[in-house]
Chains A and B, each alone.
Chain A
């Protein structure tokens, strides 16, 4: 079982709507789960509202996902999840080319262009980490001060050192496997004696083949020399626990659970399916934190409950309720509208759904920044054939990469980037190994022993570099809503306007050169080809590129130092609504070259502390006022 038995049945909608909670959280993803778990530990009563259906609450449901994934013809990363018109979600296969002035509204995300991104997120119980890849690098110290250093982007109202203790908490919860000696680079520091919960996952043979050609070589950028090396990525997947963790107390991983594979233990098996789903749950997902939150009975969870409006008292600016639409059947628009109440409200629905909900509630904020500054890493793929067998298609999707160009003075002119070496070969770019097999069988007419010999030759030498490139905030990249576009429940859908910034494109052009250089050092034959008919095809300075979405959504309710330059403060509290927190990637002012989730987890630990303190403060204040306020009666509106 992932969740305590009947945890989702503990309360019903009527009882919940008649309860005044300490905190009401929208969204059961990693952000919401961390907040709920921390508040529950502090003895607070919490209600978590989740739009998705709850069939996935048990391990049986998880395995159902898995079967659906394996059996899906199109293995895009949403393929395990059932279609739910009442809580729709984007799929990477939705993206189409868009023409000026003609938004593409055929899929859930209305793409207003000019760039049509294939970025995705998942609206299921547990949110997007149910299928993430689980790379967990910290941001670099430089990433927090880009405006001060280079006059670019926004400074954070926080430093790396401020966030460091919360990174430690996040690394514990996610169960990060990494080695401090390989993560102390480009200014990243760790407390003396710190070790990660688990040792780093060993580099793949493919990584080592790349390292042979790359380690110890240099590139020069902006007059600075950078020595390159292949390094293991920190990952939230179970490796070998580090006995030195927590001053020698060690670390007990949250085990892999699987009804028919228990005997295989809890470590990552390297079966190369991390995205979309880990078959043995060696990979962290928010269900693990949610299960803890639900353990002690102070957290109520309601699924099939879509937050549709944030209700604000115009006199005080305080949120006094969240209107929700409750459905039974995902296929039917039948629903009941109710209001959930509490002392403090937390929106943890992700960087697209948070601003969507606020804007749909008519709350664009005093800064006017709600929904603006949408960021998502730009991925450029480059692929080549190595001169030797490298054992591609073994191990987790990615174990190592080249991260030496994540920081430097060159960032004045062009975006920094990190490089993943993909253990799943050209899969992301070409559909390998299936596409290779079809070619060998259909075009080359091979069969039998010849086929058996030819296939490894084709796939075991594949090298794919995924270059993840920084994107800075830009106010015109944004999420809006439009009453012309609604879902089955009548909720307005997100409308995305997006351009890949010029600064990023300069980074893209350099990253492509960099990949070529790496291929040359390895004697690998470049097979990269960008399809001009691809919806994500862009030209820059005469060269064409295809930019893939990074699924690292951020910036849309940015944190800052005041109510004019930001939507939330450094604790993720809304400047406009003192009892409202908007948490998750949306709060991040910049994303650097770090996959965003570890940082958002750290921010959520920090916010949880602040929320607990605020509850205490407000309780003391209330105790001093003689007449306690009556609990307002819930309004129940009939089904439409």
Chain B
């Protein structure tokens, strides 16, 4: 049986465009899964992971269009890229209720630094620290190629 974390990573690979190794390299997967558990009503994370397990029959497009899963899925992308949780829309809360953890907040000091936004900008290699003194003087990969 695939573990919860594996399901979460599989889905996150589709959502972020980064590989399994890169995502695991951030060291944040358990923490993000925990954040989801804290924010969503009981049992909903497993339901969500089960839905996503139907990939690729169930397309990401369909998930994003879903009233229930769309907002959660978008938040997961922002979580990986910025390390922060964004409060779910009021319309979503009206249906599913509100947990106290569902507020705008950065998950942790580590998550902020582990954000894929920095990798995308070529600022930090995934899962590693900043590049070090003077690394900012050279062309970013895209510009060099």
A interface residues, Cβ below 8 angstroms from B: 66-67, 69-73, 201-205, 208, 239-240, 261, 264-265, 267-272, 388-396, 399, 423, 433-434, 437-438, 441-442, 445, 447-453, 455-456, 459-460
- Excluding A441-B78, A459-B117, 15 further A-B contacts by CB distance (< 8 Å) are A70-B109, A71-B109, A267-B133, A271-B130, A390-B143, A391-B122, A391-B136, A394-B140, A399-B136, A434-B82, A438-B78, A447-B16, A451-B16, A453-B17, A460-B121
B112, B131, B136: residue with the most chain A Cβ atoms closer than 10 Å: B136
Alpha-carbon distance A272/B112, docked complex (angstroms): 12
B132 at the interface (CB under 8 A from A): yes
Minimum distance in angstroms from B13 CB to a CB of chain A: 8
Beyond A70-B106, A459-B120, whether A452 also contacts B137 by CB under 8 A is no
Cβ–Cβ contact B117 & A437, under 8 A: yes
- 30 cross-chain CB contacts under 8 A: A67-B108, A70-B106, A70-B108, A70-B111, A70-B112, A70-B113, A71-B107, A73-B106, A205-B136, A205-B137, A205-B143, A270-B134, A272-B130, A389-B140, A391-B122, A393-B122, A394-B121, A394-B135, A395-B137, A433-B82, A433-B117, A438-B86, A447-B73, A450-B17, A451-B16, A453-B17, A459-B120, A459-B121, A460-B121, A460-B142
Q: Mark B17-40, 1 if CB is under 8 A from A, else 0.
A: 110000000000000000000000
Which residues from chain B contact A396 at a C-beta distance below 8 Å? 136
Task: Determine the distance from Cα of A389 to Cα of B122 in the docked complex, in whole angstroms.
Answer: 11
Residue B5 interfacial (CB < 8 Å): no
In the docked arrangement, what's the CA distance between A448 and B63, Å? 13
CA distance A442 to B116 in the complex (A): 17
Q: Which of A268, A270, A445, A456 contacts B121 (CB 8 A)?
A: A456
* Residues in chain A near residue B116, CB distance under 8 A: 452
With contacts A202-B136, A391-B140, A395-B136 taken as known, whether A437 is within 8 angstroms of B15 at the C-beta atoms is: no
CA–CA, A453 and B18, complex, Å: 11
Chain B residues contacting A202 (CB-CB under 8 Å) are 134, 136-137
In the complex the two chains form, is B136's CB within 8 Å of A388's CB?
Answer: no
Chain B nearest CB from A9 CB (Å) reads: 28
**Min distance, Cβ A305 to any Cβ of chain B, angstroms:** 31
Please, how many angstroms separate the alpha-carbon atoms of A270 and B123 in the complex? 9
Contact A423 B136 (CB under 8 A): yes
Is B94 among interface residues, defined by CB-CB distance under 8 A?
A: no
Contact present for A71 and B16 (CB under 8 Å): no
- In the bound complex, residues from chain A placing their C-beta under 8 Å from that of B103 are 73
The reply to whether the CB of B129 lies closer than 8 angstroms to some CB of chain A is yes
CB-based nearest B residue for A240: B133
Q: Would you call B62 an interface residue if the criterion is a C-beta within 8 Å of the partner chain's C-beta atoms?
A: no
> Do A389 and B82 touch (CB < 8 A)?
no
Structural contact, B106 and A270, CB atoms closer than 8 A: no
A residues within 8 A CB of B18? Answer: 452
Whether the pair B133, A456 counts as a contact (CB closer than 8 A) is no
Centre residue among A264, A423, A434 by max chain B CB count within 10 A: A434
Q: How far is the CB of B19 from chain A (nearest CB, A)?
A: 10
CB proximity of A61 to chain B, nearest CB, Å: 15
Interface residue range, chain B: 35 or more
A179 nearest CB across to chain B (Å):
15
Q: Is A272 a contact of B74 with CB atoms below 8 Å? A: no
Q: How far is the CA of A393 from the CA of B120 in the complex (A)?
A: 10
Option from B117, B121, B143 in Cβ contact (under 8 Å) with A388 = B143
Contact of A437 among B81, B130, B131, B136 (CB under 8 A): B81
Contact B17–A71 (Cβ < 8 Å): no
**A393 is contacted by which of B110, B121, B138, B139 (Cβ under 8 Å)?**
B121
**Contact A205-B15, Cβ < 8 Å, known A268-B133, A269-B132, A456-B121:** no
Residues of A within 8 A of B133 (CB): 239-240, 265, 267-270
Task: Considering the complex, give the chain B residue whose CB is closest to the CB of A75.
Answer: B106
Contact flag A448-B15 (CB < 8 Å), given A270-B131, A391-B122? yes
CA distance A72 to B112 in the complex (A): 10
Q: Report the minimal beta-carbon distance from B106 to chain A, rounded to whole angstroms.
A: 5
Q: Which of A442, A448, A459, A460 contacts B16 (CB 8 A)?
A: A448
Q: Which residues of B contact A459 (CB under 8 A)?
A: 117, 120-121
Q: Which of A203, A393, A449, A459 has most chain B Cβ within 10 Å?
A: A393
| Chain A residues within 8 Å of B60, by CB | 447-448
Per the bound structure, the CA–CA distance linking A69 and B117 in Å amounts to 18
Bound-state CA distance A433–B81 (Å) is 10
Interface flag for B72 (CB, 8 Å): no
Q: Do residues B120 and A456 form an inter-chain contact, with CB atoms below 8 A?
A: yes
Q: In the complex the two chains form, is B120's CB within 8 Å of A447's CB?
A: no
Q: Cβ of B109 and Cβ of A449 under 8 Å apart?
A: no
By Cβ-Cβ distance, the 7 closest A-B pairs, closest first, are: A395-B136, A452-B17, A70-B109, A391-B140, A393-B121, A271-B130, A389-B143
Q: Please tell me which one of the listed residues B16, B106, B112 contacts residue A452 in the complex, with CB atoms under 8 A apart.
A: B16
Which residues of A have CB within 8 Å of B135? 270, 394-395
State the CA gap A248–B76 with chains docked (Å): 55
How far apart are B53's CB and chain A's nearest CB, in angstroms? 17
Most buried by B among A73, A391, A460: A391
